[in-house]
Amino acid sequence: MPFAAFWAVSRFNFRSQNKIPPLTLAWMFEQIVILDFGSQYTQVIARRVRECNVYSRILRYDTPAREIGKLNPRGIVLSGGPASVYAPKAPMPDGRIFKLGVPILGICYGLQLFAQFLGGRVEKGHKREYGKGTLRVTDSYCPLFASLPETLQVWNSHGDKLTTLPAGFKSAAITENSEYAAVEDRRRKFFGLQFHPEVAHTPLGRGIIANFVHAICGCGKTWTMRDYIGRAIGEIREQVGEDNVILGLSGGVDSSVAAALLHRAIGGRLTCIFVNNGLLRAQEADTVREVFGRHFQIRLKYVDASKRFLKKLRGVTDPERKRKVIGREFIAVFNDAVAELKKGRATGGGRYRFLAQGTLYPDVIESVPIAGNPAALIKSHHNVGGLPRKMKLELVEPLKCLFKDEVRELGLELGLPREIVLRQPFPGPGLAVRIPGEVTPQRCAMLRQADSIVVEEMKASGWYYKIWQNFAVLLPVRSVGVMGDERTYDYTIAIRAVESQDGMTADWVRLPYELLEKLAGRIINEVKGVNRCVFDITSKPPGTIEWE
């Protein structure tokens, strides 16, 4: 999808510069602030809070207490982190957060931090406590565990141990290895957990988080996508005024939902540009034109640049060069389309002043560069090139405080079809990175057909919506086969199906043999030029999801 390529190249260059992103929403919704000390689970905490219908936002661990206070949070969560609180360069919060009069929940490192800050003692444990444990609640009045059983399965991951409680605190729960697995100072509403309530391995952890945000912080269930639509529309209208917005539509979830939301806010003053780069999947261009052009009646500028892209890709075999060629070409095509629009008359007389992007919350969270935090890693191939600033358009990013699952919910709420809202990710360079070697129109056609068989069968068997991605790869390998009475010498298709949370790591999906048999049978029979199918059983790491 072309816009995804554009998106991928643009997100690091056009990102908002503010440390605390200026989201007016911050003042509209009750919120919980999460201070990030570099845990790999910080975003999971934020998502869990939002699942309780409470808005949450992640800030750097050292955000000044004054800035936090201005946001008027109902509560603060201190995340875990890879450091030791007694290490010389341990990340420390602004100590004045403990004087804001706001409830605080410290998780793992967060607990050890506030315990040390408030006069307790943390030491290196004899052994690292890692994995499942059993928690026994010893204070049945502790509001964190209200309505939860007395014993709970929890997930631990820590090497340090709280050995002395600060004044005013008492233990609320214990595990085999810790008498301070949960601690509380009910008067100040400070709570701490040595384990991780946010992860799936703490099955009732959501209940603990719900108790913190509702019972302790007093938040209502105000964060819903239905409410969000109304408020986001107001925000968009205020930003855009009487002017016009251009959006690069790829047909992927993010740009599609952004388009539907913007259209609801400003109607005909939104123009979407859809670039066909010749590397799209079967039916892709038609679906986008049907859904957005005809059904939603959104102004859509369709640019068929497939010949232009395929010409530029002639003879290119190096994966990184392919990406660069496609990224560069996309920018050129998009620029031309914008220039054409600007030359024409905009609807309502306003100017084309804005460029809308489907930037999501994880892209604007400033990652905390603490050793051992995998969240701080950025994939290099998503960070290539750069959008020319000469486009001179201001950014509108109506999804920038949403997580992916919220964007999907919002899409459904806006009436987008499930086919679009629940679709799997598709890389910006499209089929080109699934054709190792040279990309030719014939190879694209073969792969397109094989891919559509994979998608069709995965949907029919119900697997498509359960997993992260499934697709076909056309290998540049020919092998001998027999079909009927004839000897063949044809290409190979690799089938890939992976499970993942965010694409950073992935596991191959154990598809049933019957389904694999059906896929291989159909591909070999129906795709001319293919006589062999293989199934990729590589996880990431050490492999990557795409083959290039």
| Residues near ligand XMP (CB under 6 A) | 4, 8, 323, 379, 381-382, 425, 427-429, 469, 503, 540, 544-546
Query: Least CB distance from residue 458 to ligand XMP, whole Å?
Result: 15
The rounded distance, in Å, linking the Cα atoms of 246 and 74 is 37
Question: What's the min distance (Å) between Cβ of 11 and ligand XMP?
Answer: 9
Which is nearer to ligand XMP, 177 or 538 (by Cβ)? 538
Per DSSP (E only), the strands in 278-387 are 299-304, 352-356
Strand, helix or coil at 520? helix
Provide the 8-state DSSP code for 13: T
Q: At 353, is the secondary structure helix, strand, or coil?
A: strand
| In the complex, minimum distance from the CB of residue 429 to ligand XMP, in angstroms, rounded to a whole number | 5
| Catalytic residue selected from 108, 219, 272, 444 | 108
Of 4 and 407, nearer to ligand XMP (C-beta) is 4
Q: CB-based burial of residue 160 (10 Å sphere; 0-12 exposed, 13-18 middle, 19+ buried)?
A: buried
198 has catalytic annotation: yes
What span, in angstroms and rounded, lies between the C-alpha atoms of 450 and 261?
Answer: 34
> What is the Cα gyration radius of the chain?
26
Which amino acid would we find at residue 383?
Answer: N
Residue position matching structure tokens 């601690």: 183
Is 544 within 8 Å of 380 (Cβ atoms)?
no
Tokens found for residue 347:
């609807």
In angstroms, the CA 129 to CA 158 distance is 5
Q: Minimum distance from CB of 497 to ligand XMP (Å)?
A: 12
- Alpha-carbon span 36 to 83, nearest angstrom: 12
Dihedral sign for Cα atoms in the order 309, 312, 317, 318 = negative
CB of 433 to ligand XMP, least distance (A): 6
201 catalytic? Reply is no
* Cβ atoms of residues 213 and 54 within 8 Å: yes
**Cα 535 vs. chain centroid, distance in angstroms?**
27
| C-beta closer to ligand XMP: residue 293 or 503 | 503
Q: In angstroms, what is the minimal distance from the CB of 250 to ligand XMP? A: 9
Residue closer to ligand XMP (CB basis): 125 or 503: 503
Phi, psi of 497 (to 5 degrees): -140, 120
Instruction: Give me 331's structure tokens.
Output: 């920018």
Nearest to 93 by CA among 58, 119, 62: 62
Paired with 154 in beta bridges are 133
Q: Say if strands 469-483 and 486-499 run parallel, antiparallel, or are unpaired.
A: antiparallel
Question: In b/e form, how buried is each residue of 166-197, taking b as 16+ CB within 10 angstroms?
Answer: beebebbbbbeebebbbbbbbebbbbbbbbbb
Residue among 263 and 323 whose Cβ is closer to ligand XMP: 323
CB 294 within 8 A of CB 261: no
Q: How many residues does the chain have?
A: 548
Among 30, 129, 184, 198, which one carries the catalytic annotation?
198
299-304/270-276 β-pairing: parallel
What are the structure tokens assigned to 224, written together?
Answer: 């819903």
Nearer to ligand XMP, 507 or 546 (CB): 546
Determine which one of 196, 214, 263, 381 is catalytic. 196
* Of residues 138 and 500, the one with the C-beta less far from ligand XMP: 500
Q: How far apart are CB 540 and ligand XMP at their closest, in Å? A: 5
| Structure token pair of residue 440 | 């030719």
Nearer to ligand XMP, 111 or 545 (CB): 545
Contacts of 456 (CB under 8 A, 6+ apart): none
Decide if 255 contacts 249 (C-beta within 8 A).
yes
486 a catalytic residue: no
Nearer to ligand XMP, 404 or 540 (CB): 540
In whole angstroms, the minimum distance from the beta carbon of 527 to ligand XMP comes to 22
Q: Which is nearer to ligand XMP, 180 or 426 (CB)?
A: 426
Instruction: Report the nearest approach of ligand XMP to the CB of residue 252 (Å).
Output: 9
Closest approach, Cβ 327 to ligand XMP, in A, equals: 8
As annotated, the active-site residues are: 108, 196, 198
